[in-house]
Amino acid sequence: MTRKRKPYKTYPKEFKLEAIRLMEKSDRPASEIAMELGIRRNQLYKWKEQMAKKGDVPSSQRGRPRKGDQSELATLKQEVKLLKEENEILKKAAVFFAKELG
């Protein structure tokens, strides 16, 4: 019997920032703050680390941005990648058919 995995719980950016602020400003242990907020203690530390590395915590949106939300540069990079792959396929096909004719 297989069990279905619970979906990840996502938290708004404001919640994450407030949790980090509570952890840094409070003299209470992180485990107590985490229990009060209903999250795991290591999640607080993970958010704090992300804040230190990137200067911001990730938003609650998961995965890649939708096509409409992508920047023009990202769209063009994706198109170039696809065109390069197609070009490689055509080169291989040309070599194959050249051997067949010759």
**Mean pLDDT across 4-9:** 77
CA 76 vs. chain centroid, Å, equals 20
Share of the chain above pLDDT 90, in %: 37
Give pLDDT, residue 89. Answer: 94
Q: Is the pLDDT of residue 58 over 70?
A: no
- 3-state secondary structure string, 11-63? CCHHHHHHHHHHHHHCCCCHHHHHHHHCCCHHHHHHHHHHHHHHCCCCCCCCC
What's the CATH architecture for 9-60? Orthogonal Bundle (1.10)
pLDDT for residue 59:
66
Q: What is the pLDDT of residue 45?
A: 92
pLDDT at 51: 85
**Does the pLDDT value for residue 91 go beyond 90?**
yes
Distance, CA of 48 to CA of 44 (rounded, Å): 6
Q: What pLDDT is stored for residue 84 in this prediction?
A: 96
